[in-house]
Amino acid sequence: MKNRIILTAMGLLAASGALAQAGKAAPTEKGWEFGAVLDTTATSRPLAMGSRDKGLQLGHSDLTAHGPLGAHLRAGVVASVATHEGKLEKGFEEVWIETTSLPAGLQLRAGRFPSQVGYLNTQHPHADDFTDRPLLYRAFFGGHWNDEGLRLSWTAPTSLYWTVGVEAFRGRKLVTETANTPGHIGAITWATKLGGDLNRSHSWQLGLSHINNRREAAVEDEAEHAEEGHDHSHSAQLSGRKTWMIDATWKWAPNGNNRDQQVRLGFEAARITGLNRFASGRDRHEANALSAVWRFHPSWEVGARSDWLRGRMPHGEHFHNLLLREHSLMVAWKPSHQQTLRLQWTGQRDAVGVDAPARRSLQLQYILAFGAHGAHAF
């Protein structure tokens, strides 16, 4: 699969070069654009379920390319590199093709790309307001759920923003060691988002997502017979058959001018059931995250986030409790759109059933962007 993805990416890049030379880009769209992001972080100590190692390291850095493939298609490639457990990891995070001219507000995407579930998952981690994703994403999606599959989405032709999408994925990042053989389609999702403006200063968005995970996690005595050869260092740590997610976002900017001043409030919650064949209705995973960020100056932001995670960790035919709470405070200096210097303090408490005890961590992050990048989601 990795070789096929690499060959596909090479083909897309070659096609983009040919299109650029031939001048055949769609007249209503720009030609191919390229960008890069450097993410470096110094961490005082690692956190439970965290993705940042102790000391100076390379965070989620990437090289991007996106643009038209003729008049009816566009494509994107994202190659990422990061430090994890002292090793430099690299690979293709996204390789996709999507339609641009289907009727009735429809769009079809195929390849490897981030799932549409939740609020944060569709954006790259270096675009987040905090140095690390909430516990919800780290535990349920390995931080950032990218997968191979198809997506069909529809956007309503109304003044009120409304979109609906359905995806079919392999699902190996959700469950790496399986007790069944679900075939090529391991996870099916659907999601809908609704949003709009209350007036010039206030805007909002609500989202509802569902994941039907067809891959059943192997219990301990089956793990030795599970799939091999898959790097699951960034895979989900907690999984189940059914996942429901809700998200809500509210933004305020005086007269819509978010460059000088803005307040952003966000809330996400998820529940996972059907943990395995031995689970009862009381065995489930739950998590939520509440965040607030205030841009009080064009170059300065402060923010706070509170996370809560509760789960049931399978051990053969029985389950152990898992609990973790996390609180983060950050201040960020953004002298330009391409640069961010962020200082963040994170404290964890009430840790039950996690690898590391409750602790505190201080992180200093620097992000530098070059070239073109896609517009950020709402």
Q: Parse the chain into domains and list their residue ranges.
A: 104-371
Q: What is the reported pLDDT for 374? A: 62
211, 242 contact by CB (below 8 A): yes
Q: What is the reported pLDDT for 225? A: 37
133, 51 contact by CB (below 8 A): yes
Q: What is the reported pLDDT for 24? A: 40
Alpha helices in the chain (DSSP H): 2-22, 135-140
Beta bridge partners, 179, equal none
Residue 16 CA to its chain's centroid (Å):
26
Q: What is the reported pLDDT for 86? A: 75
Residue among 155, 151, 187, 182 nearest 171 (CA): 187
Residue among 284, 240, 291 nearest 263 (CA): 291
> How far is the C-alpha of 337 from the C-alpha of 299, rounded, in Å?
9
Q: What is the reported pLDDT for 262? A: 96
Q: Which pTM does this prediction carry?
A: 0.87
Distances (CA, A) of 299 to 196, 202, 259, 302, 339: 27, 21, 9, 11, 10
Rg, Å, the chain Cα set: 21
Q: What is the reported pLDDT for 101? A: 93
215: three-class secondary structure by DSSP = coil
Per-residue pLDDT of the chain (378 residues; tens, 9 = 90+): 444 443 444 343 334 333 333 334 334 457 899 999 999 999 999 888 888 888 899 888 999 999 999 999 999 999 999 887 778 888 999 999 999 999 999 999 999 999 999 999 999 999 999 999 999 999 999 999 999 999 999 999 998 999 999 999 999 889 887 777 777 889 999 999 999 999 999 999 999 999 999 988 877 654 443 333 333 346 888 999 999 999 999 999 999 888 899 999 999 999 999 888 888 888 999 999 999 999 999 999 999 999 999 999 887 778 889 999 999 999 999 999 899 999 999 999 988 888 766 689 999 999 999 987 665 677
Q: What is the reported pLDDT for 241? A: 93
Range 104-371 classified under CATH 3.90.180.10: no
> How far is the C-alpha of 274 from the C-alpha of 252, rounded, in Å?
39
